[in-house]
Amino acid sequence: MGLETGAGGPAAHRPVATTAEKILGRRAAESPLLSAPTRSGLRFAADKVLFGALPPFTLTLLLIARFAIGKHFGFDYKPLWEASRHVFHGDSPYPLPHASALRNEQQFVYPPIAAVMAAPFAVFPFIVAAILFAAVEVVATVLTLRVLGVRDWRCYGLALLWLPVIENILIGSISSLLALGLAVAWRYRDSRWAAPLVIAAVISAKVFLWPVLLWLVATRRGMAGMRALAIAVVGVLGSWAVIGFAGFGSYPRLLDVLSRLEQWKSYSAVAFGLVLGLSAGEARALALAACFVVLVGVVLSVRLRRGNPDADRHAFILAIAAAFLFSPIIWMHYLAILVVPIALTRRTLTPLWFVPLAMWATPGQSHGHAWQVTLGLLVWVGVLVASLWPAWPLPALRRRRAPVAAPVPTT
């Protein structure tokens, strides 16, 4: 305490604040210890929970549940793992082309080059190989979005919440690898060898994706398409030669029997035709007719919109749509490929990223139920059709910017 003398009177008693007290007082005034949460802060916290914490929690929970109910982890990967071991010994990995040999869905039905490409994991025990393969699938999903230029971290979290992506990881299918291949093919579409090599690998592993070759031809990349086709043919024939062409002659019959046995319980256009009461032949013919129309659209979208920067993208998405229509079987995990058309036009979070979440209503196979088949069909058709148009802005899902104060006029 000290005395201060005023100009016109006696000294008054005033507390003299120390330097520390002044600093602490100023900081307390500028940043109070307790403040009400802002709307942007709450939104960011919700984003961290929904897109950051929920995906790994959900995947872990479903993995535990799968073991608890006795379902095999890596259900789809096991035939591929076993086929790779057969190829090591030069044996045929294929079952007989009869319905009785295909009923438990544990047979290898890919071209043999898939077993050759998966051979490095075959040196491990199955459970180790399945875990490594699942990790590869997760990385493939992340890389797919990265390659296509998606920078919004919420899109990564949401994609890993899609049931098709989660199922693909749990059962060990190759759909996420196919999606990565398509993404790389698009990113390096003008390269001399990168796109042909990747597309050759994709169509060798899953023949139904062959319409991507037409996209190359329609967009004046005919030489790249020819290279891709030649590499695919040489790769498939070479891998078949390793096993002495065992099962080569009966392979088309094997695929036909498999399609007739399982197409009714998938989410394909053929399954939808069966739901409508068509015969298997009529449903297949209708799906192929739709595929042909879309393939014509691939060509026309380029020729009629020459010079339009979106024409190439439209043709690519239409080629993927034609592949979905061509396949008589569309399993749940095939829809993991939809990250490609969405990411091509939606590099930030928009409503289209949420559409595949609808598949949580029909986990697993459709079992021929009309509403499940219809829902699955609407999801992949809706995503592909919507991807042909640019994204519309959605203020609710975009980051809000702080309003800029209007300048104060000076006098």
pLDDT at 396 over 70: no
DSSP 8-state class, residue 331: -
Distance of CA 5 to the CA centre of its chain: 79
Task: Check residues 288 and 245 and name the one with the higher pLDDT.
Answer: 288
Write phi, then psi, for 216 (nearest 5 degrees): -60, -45
Angle at 197 between CA 191 and CA 203, to 5 degrees: 125
CB atoms under 10 Å from CB of 192, counted, come to 11
Burial of 243 (0-12, 13-18, 19+ CB in 10 A): buried
| Share of the chain residues as helix, strand and coil, in percent rounded to the nearest 5 | 65, 0, 35
Q: Are 330 and 380 in contact (CB under 8 A)?
A: yes
pLDDT digits (tens, 9 = 90+) for 45-65: 888 888 989 998 998 888 888
pLDDT digits (tens, 9 = 90+) for 295-307: 999 999 898 877 7
What distance in Å separates the CA atoms of residue 21 and residue 25, rounded to the nearest whole number? 6
What distance in Å separates the CA atoms of residue 117 and residue 200, rounded to the nearest whole number? 13
- Give the contacts of 363 (CB within 8 A, at least 6 positions apart): 163, 167, 332
Q: Which of 79, 50, 71 is nearest to 157 (CA)?
A: 50
Write phi, then psi, for 258 (nearest 5 degrees): -60, -45
**What's the predicted TM-score (pTM) here?**
0.84
Task: Check residues 270 and 395 and name the one with the higher pLDDT.
Answer: 270
pLDDT digits (tens, 9 = 90+) for 61-89: 888 887 777 677 888 999 999 999 888 77
Q: Which of 368, 164, 377 is nearest to 269 (CA)?
A: 377
Task: Check residues 195 and 69 and name the one with the higher pLDDT.
Answer: 195
Burial of 172 (0-12, 13-18, 19+ CB in 10 A): buried
> Sorting pLDDT into bands at 50, 70 and 90, what band is 38?
confident
Write phi, then psi, for 3 (nearest 5 degrees): -100, 135
- Give the contacts of 82 (CB within 8 A, at least 6 positions apart): 93, 108
Q: Are 70 and 229 in contact (CB under 8 A)?
A: no
Give all strands (DSSP E) within 108-166, no chain letters.
none
Distance of CA 34 to the CA centre of its chain: 43
| Residue percentage of the chain with pLDDT more than 90 | 60
What distance in Å separates the CA atoms of residue 284 and residue 274, rounded to the nearest whole number? 9
Q: Which of 197, 198, 164 is nearest to 180 (CA)?
A: 198
pLDDT of residue 371: 97
pLDDT digits (tens, 9 = 90+) for 206-216: 999 999 999 99
Angle at 198 between CA 193 and CA 202, to 5 degrees: 150
Q: Which of 106, 56, 104 is nearest to 77 (CA)?
A: 106
DSSP 8-state class, residue 73: T
What distance in Å separates the CA atoms of residue 173 and residue 137, rounded to the nearest whole number? 8
Whose structure tokens read 């990223």?
A: 353
pLDDT of residue 221: 94
DSSP 8-state class, residue 408: P
pLDDT of residue 391: 53
Mean of pLDDT over the chain:
86
pLDDT of residue 101: 66
Rounded to an integer, the average pLDDT of 122-148 is 94
Rounded to an integer, the average pLDDT of 266-292 is 96
